[in-house]
């Protein structure tokens, strides 16, 4: 539990690797009872941001998500709240 990091950085990852990392990260966080998470996907082309959104919409234990405030990464970081 103490080694769990509530922030996942997937910048620069290939899409399939990033998706695998995201599912593992979110499942682990949920099983540990974490509530607030941050996913750093960067702004770039938006492929990782879009993939993150699709995954978040597909999981039943996601309460809400939103992009971070502009001075904390804006659309390059998604803040996630788990149920």
- Looking at residue 81, its pLDDT comes to 98
Query: Strands 7-9 and 62-67, how do they pair?
Result: unpaired
Report mean pLDDT in 10-residue bins for the chain, 83 residues.
88 96 97 97 92 97 95 93 97
- Looking at residue 8, its pLDDT comes to 98
- Looking at residue 72, its pLDDT comes to 86
pTM: 0.93
| Residue 17 to residue 36: CA distance in whole angstroms | 23
- Looking at residue 2, its pLDDT comes to 64
């Amino acid at each position: 539990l103490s080694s769990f990091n509530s922030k996942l950085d997937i910048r620069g990852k290939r899409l399939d690797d990033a998706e695998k990392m995201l599912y593992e990260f979110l499942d682990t966080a949920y099983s540990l009872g974490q509530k607030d998470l941050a996913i750093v996907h960067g702004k770039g082309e938006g492929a990782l941001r879009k993939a993150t959104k699709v995954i978040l919409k597909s999981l039943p234990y996601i309460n809400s998500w939103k992009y971070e405030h502009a001075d904390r990464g804006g659309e390059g970081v998604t803040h996630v709240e788990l149920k």
